[in-house]
Chain A
Amino acid sequence: MGSRVGWVALAAFVVFASVGLVAPVWAQPAFDDLVRQSSLIFQGVIVTPGATSMPEVPVSPSTIVVKVNQVFQAPKALTGLAGQEITVLMKGPAGLKRGDQAVFFAQGWMAGEGIAVQEVGRLPGRGGADLPRRVAAARQAMADQELGARVSSAQLVVVGKISGIAPRPPSDPSTGVSEHDPQWQDAILQISTVLKGDRALKEVVVLMPGTLDVAWVTAPRFTPGQEGVWILQRHPELPAYTALDPLDVQPLAQQARIRRLLAAPRSSP
């Protein structure tokens, strides 16, 4: 991996130097890794080096104010970022001057009256005409890798339908009580196809949090009659499975993709 990064950095340096653009002087991760580490990807022009656009962010040689020209990736809450001036905390030595243009790969740092981000990586200029396609491809690869990791760690992956949901008998109070208790409910999952695991299974119990507590707010909730692909983990203590990650319940349309992920050799993230 390290040599790969080094080659990318070297190649980037050669390209940037040859066209007279300002390149980062540190070794950058591979493109897909840049996308993976970034919550924002945007192209912009440097407005003021050594400055900030937010009172909470102290000015330093590593902070620059950038006007965003084009957004390739941003959270929904930041819709409308194009045209705004934001603060970038650069990863390495500045080397940028007013008017320089670059594509920034960044993570959110502060959101106040304005935005401040931490740079993860950078491409010079506009990043190339195919940048949107490359970002989209990297995001798809990232999504496949995340779903693949869930599938890989699952004990059971099935196509099935919830036939009913019932409260589970109360847990033993001697185990302790908290407002964060899951208050499990038993969802009966009728299996039509086993994609991974014991192919003889026709029905399993999937535990679903019955509580509204914040600790379980992201856990999928099921409804009777719901069909889909279920990526299941065996509960460590109870004779049942769980599907607690938002990725663990997929629509039927994802069956082919999940089959493909199951067949593909696993690569390290």
Chain B
Amino acid sequence: MTTPGRWQRGWWMASILAALVAGAGESHAAQVTVVNMIPLAQSGETNQDSEPNLAVNPANPLQVAGSAFTPSQGFCGPNLAPIFVSSDGGNTWAMNCIVPSDGSGMTSDITVRFAETSGNLYAGILRRPGGFRLNVLRTTNFLGAAAMTVLVDRQFVDQPYVQATTSSGADRVYVGDNACCPTGFGGRTATIDQSLNAGSAAPVFNAIRIESRATAGQDGPPVRPAVHADGTIYGVFYHWTNRVGNFSPFATITSDVVVIRDDNGGGGATPFTNLVDPGDGLAGMRVVQNRTVPWANTSQATFGQERFVGSNATIAVDPRNSSTVYIAWADRVGTSDYTLHVRRSLDRGLTWSGDLRTITNATNPALAISSEGTVGFLYQQVVRVAVVGNSVIQGWVTHLERTTDAFATLDDLILAQTIANAPPVTFLPYIGDYGHLMAVGRDFYGIFSANNTPDLASFPHGVHYQRNANFATKTLLALDNQTPVPVSIDPFFFKVIAEQPPKFQYAAKFICGKPDNPVLAPGTYFTAINVHNPGERGVGFRKKFAVALPGERPGLVSRFFDARLGPDEAFEIDCPDILKHTRIRSGFLKGFAIIESDTELDVVAVYTAAGASRLVETMEITRVPPRRRAGAEGSDPVPAPGLGR
């Protein structure tokens, strides 16, 4: 029998291999925090806390709110459900009982968002009992004890997804939802419920139908808005054009993916009609058409126990330039896959790139763009981990990809890699029909749900559990810190804080091997770069390699590799190391080893060359001076080093 430990190791190797194949490296230039959000006082809980959502207060990023299908378990007062709250930037969490509910103490769909500057927290929920009762909620104090105020209460709405901002002192709230079930409005069900003064005592919300075309009865469940500070509002939705099957539970849908835009914050006479498709002259640009979207509202054995309900669309606008907008959606490319696609427009949605990124067998895409223009792409991919007897062990791998060049290159942070076969599904969605990612300044904040087994191997960037857990035995523990608790699905908060560029950079020339053309004298060249930490504390730094090719051609630039030296420790980077990191099997290699550190190091390069006798004929020892990085505190540029002679 295969033990979890054994297949976990196999899992690790598979994940690392996948990252290498994708050409992705894990970024050093960020501080990654992952936190299991279940608080200590709820250590005994075994709920399926799926479909999470997150809100960070842009005016005070220490204030964070989260939501999931988390019941009160008898803790909250009558007819109240909890959200998660943090007042320290997401490092610790509590459950706060402020969401109107029913005796079940939970909600159906729920999303949360802070306005830009007011500190007001808004929520869009499907209130129980029943499946389609929309409530839009507000609180002026998300840490307070008062129940959220109900601003909207109406029926026949699905998947409310809230976005909010503040403009000229007024909160503007946009809730993307689907006015289905039963359908109305001639099947044009994609809707944005908006208020341009949601912070007022009795705000008015208007339901704006954003579908301009005839549908096959309705639009798809997800309608996602995105807000820019200049008043540009985008939205993305699935425009259903055909349906085959009875939906109970299986169907195949043909769909276009449509982007709409409003240039005046939704405040004009005909909101969300500023983007017109030249193909038919109607509002809403059809980014792609005639895509196949599977509908299978049952737990899928080959998809990590999750379902397919075409609920996966996301949109993000560049805070530096509202003309730049990214979308991602899911559809079926082959016969059994579920594939995510990412595309970009640079002209306010009028023209679109091809697929910048495709991810097979993945769900819960979420996009966000930082103040620096870095695009973040969160998703959860199901992978085959191992075969044990007749059973296929699957895993959910949660990725955050970050790119500054439209996915030509990217940093792939694997936030979690957890078992998908356990626990058994309690209800659907298993992990969620959505997760969430948002940018606050240069940093990314997000949330996902996953198996909560306390196993550090599942969290490559580490994890903090508040609930009692024994990582040595991989066991959850009840409040008494003794009684074992079965694994379940928990929400995990994460933040990726962009770090300042390291203060010191060293560029050391390397020459390795035998030249096969006459660029250097015949012989064998060796380089050994010695690095010493002169400090009294350990230091982490990073290194990469830039290959120089003859004929004024640039060569490969490797990703960064992390390194660490204790006080007064030293190590050597030699030619075999360089060849390994560059994965170049050439017999001769030249270029630069680049070392970056926040602490000054001693870097000395030793060059030797052997002639026909194979004995050393030349030796050169060179101290590599540091270059202070622009932007680093106290920047004091030093000329780029040559060989330091």
Interface residues in A114-136 by Cβ distance below 8 A to B read: 114-115, 118
CB distance from A62 to the nearest CB of B (A): 10
Contact of B145 among A89, A177, A212, A244 (CB under 8 A): A89
Q: How large is the interface on A (under 10, 10 to 19, 20 to 34, 35 or more residues)?
A: 35 or more
Interface residues in B26-51 by Cβ distance below 8 A to A read: 39-45, 50-51
CA A174 to CA B189, docked complex, whole Å = 12
Is A20 in the interface zone, CB < 8 Å from B? no
Contact flags B81-108 to A (C-beta < 8 A → 1, else 0): 0100111100011111100000010001
- Whether the Cβ atoms of A180 and B132 lie closer than 8 Å is yes
Is B318 in the interface zone, CB < 8 Å from A? no
Contact of A110 among B73, B96, B217, B428 (CB under 8 A): B96
CA A181 to CA B297, docked complex, whole Å = 9
Chain B hits for A265, CB < 8 A: none
Stretch of B241-249, B327-335, B385-393, B437-445 on the interface side:
B241-249
Interface residues in B403-437 by Cβ distance below 8 A to A read: 425-429, 433
Interface residues in A207-253 by Cβ distance below 8 A to B read: 210-218, 244
Chain A hits for B307, CB < 8 A: 179
Is A193 in the interface zone, CB < 8 Å from B? no
- Whether the Cβ atoms of A214 and B143 lie closer than 8 Å is no
Known: A39-B74, A178-B132, A214-B69. Contact between A55 and B180, CB under 8 A?
no
Stretch of B122-130, B545-553, B606-614 on the interface side:
B122-130
Is A107 in the interface zone, CB < 8 Å from B? yes
Known: A110-B94, A173-B217, A213-B427. Contact between A179 and B309, CB under 8 A?
yes
Chain A hits for B39, CB < 8 A: 111-113
CA A115 to CA B40, docked complex, whole Å = 10
Contact of A75 among B75, B94, B158, B426 (CB under 8 A): B75
Is B181 in the interface zone, CB < 8 Å from A? yes
Is B77 in the interface zone, CB < 8 Å from A? yes
- Whether the Cβ atoms of A109 and B131 lie closer than 8 Å is no
CB distance from A213 to the nearest CB of B (A): 5
CA A244 to CA B131, docked complex, whole Å = 12
Known: A55-B92, A56-B85, A113-B39. Contact between A173 and B478, CB under 8 A?
no
Contact flags A6-48 to B (C-beta < 8 A → 1, else 0): 0000000000000000000000000000001101100000000
Chain A hits for B478, CB < 8 A: 79-80
Is B345 in the interface zone, CB < 8 Å from A? no
Is A50 in the interface zone, CB < 8 Å from B? no
- Whether the Cβ atoms of B96 and A214 lie closer than 8 Å is no
CA A34 to CA B87, docked complex, whole Å = 32
Contact of A212 among B72, B80, B158, B427 (CB under 8 A): B427
- Whether the Cβ atoms of A80 and B479 lie closer than 8 Å is yes
- Whether the Cβ atoms of B41 and A177 lie closer than 8 Å is no
Known: A75-B75, A175-B181. Contact between A109 and B145, CB under 8 A?
yes
- Whether the Cβ atoms of A109 and B249 lie closer than 8 Å is no
CB distance from A177 to the nearest CB of B (A): 5
Contact flags B433-467 to A (C-beta < 8 A → 1, else 0): 10000000000000000000000000000000010
Is A76 in the interface zone, CB < 8 Å from B? yes
Interface residues in B158-185 by Cβ distance below 8 A to A read: 158, 178, 180-183
Chain B hits for A76, CB < 8 A: 44, 73-74
Contact of B44 among A54, A77, A112 (CB under 8 A): A77
Interface residues in A85-125 by Cβ distance below 8 A to B read: 89, 107-115, 118
Interface residues in A160-200 by Cβ distance below 8 A to B read: 167, 170-171, 173-183
Chain A hits for B82, CB < 8 A: 111
Is A58 in the interface zone, CB < 8 Å from B? yes
Chain A hits for B87, CB < 8 A: 55-56
Is A147 in the interface zone, CB < 8 Å from B? no
Is A137 in the interface zone, CB < 8 Å from B? no
Contact of A179 among B69, B85, B433 (CB under 8 A): B433
CA A211 to CA B248, docked complex, whole Å = 9
> Which label, helix, strand, loop or mixed, suits the secondary structure of the A interface?
loop
CA A76 to CA B80, docked complex, whole Å = 17
Chain B hits for A177, CB < 8 A: 180-181, 217-218, 243, 247, 251, 295
- Whether the Cβ atoms of A113 and B41 lie closer than 8 Å is yes
Chain B hits for A175, CB < 8 A: 181-183
Chain A hits for B43, CB < 8 A: 77
Known: A111-B39, A173-B243. Contact between A214 and B427, CB under 8 A?
yes
Is B311 in the interface zone, CB < 8 Å from A? yes
Contact of B74 among A75, A113, A170 (CB under 8 A): A75
Chain A hits for B247, CB < 8 A: 170-171, 173, 177, 181
Write the chain A residue with the least CB distance to B298: A212
CA A210 to CA B248, docked complex, whole Å = 9
CB distance from A85 to the nearest CB of B (A): 12
CA A55 to CA B63, docked complex, whole Å = 12
CB distance from B158 to the nearest CB of A (A): 5
Known: A111-B94, A175-B183, A178-B131. Contact between A39 and B41, CB under 8 A?
no
CA A113 to CA B37, docked complex, whole Å = 11
Interface residues in B285-336 by Cβ distance below 8 A to A read: 295, 297-299, 307, 309, 311
Interface residues in A52-77 by Cβ distance below 8 A to B read: 54-58, 75-77
CB distance from A169 to the nearest CB of B (A): 8
CA A175 to CA B143, docked complex, whole Å = 41
- Whether the Cβ atoms of B94 and A56 lie closer than 8 Å is yes
Contact of A180 among B94, B95, B108, B298 (CB under 8 A): B108
Is A143 in the interface zone, CB < 8 Å from B? no
CB distance from A146 to the nearest CB of B (A): 8
Write the chain B residue with the least CB distance to A112: B94
Q: Which of B39, B41, B78, B433 has the most CB of A within 10 A?
A: B41
Is B152 in the interface zone, CB < 8 Å from A? no
Is A141 in the interface zone, CB < 8 Å from B? no
Chain B hits for A75, CB < 8 A: 73-75
CA A179 to CA B41, docked complex, whole Å = 33
Chain A hits for B178, CB < 8 A: 178
Q: Which of B40, B51, B221, B249 has the most CB of A within 10 A?
A: B249
Chain A hits for B299, CB < 8 A: 212
Chain B hits for A244, CB < 8 A: 129
Write the chain A residue with the least CB distance to B50: A214
Q: Which of A39, A54, A79, A175 has the most CB of B within 10 A?
A: A39
Chain A hits for B189, CB < 8 A: 176
Interface residues in B483-515 by Cβ distance below 8 A to A read: none
CA A189 to CA B465, docked complex, whole Å = 47
Write the chain A residue with the least CB distance to B141: A58
- Whether the Cβ atoms of B108 and A112 lie closer than 8 Å is no
Is A201 in the interface zone, CB < 8 Å from B? no
- Whether the Cβ atoms of A107 and B143 lie closer than 8 Å is no
CA A167 to CA B311, docked complex, whole Å = 25
- Whether the Cβ atoms of B104 and A218 lie closer than 8 Å is yes
7 closest A-B pairs by beta carbon, nearest first, are A112-B94, A107-B77, A75-B74, A170-B246, A108-B75, A180-B131, A176-B183
Could you pull out 30 A-B pairs where Cβ atoms are within 8 angstroms? A37-B77, A55-B88, A56-B87, A79-B478, A107-B76, A112-B92, A112-B95, A113-B40, A113-B92, A113-B466, A173-B217, A173-B243, A176-B180, A176-B183, A177-B243, A177-B247, A178-B132, A179-B309, A179-B311, A180-B108, A181-B247, A181-B248, A183-B297, A212-B298, A213-B427, A214-B108, A214-B427, A215-B108, A217-B426, A218-B104
Binding site for A on B (CB under 8 A): 39-45, 50-51, 69, 72-78, 80, 82, 85-88, 92-97, 104, 108, 126, 128-132, 143, 145, 158, 178, 180-183, 189, 217-218, 221, 243, 246-249, 251, 295, 297-299, 307, 309, 311, 425-429, 433, 466, 478-480
Taking A177-B180, A181-B297 as given, write out 7 further A-B residue pairs in contact, using a Cβ cutoff of 8 Å, ordered by the A residue number: A56-B86, A76-B44, A112-B94, A175-B181, A179-B433, A180-B126, A211-B297
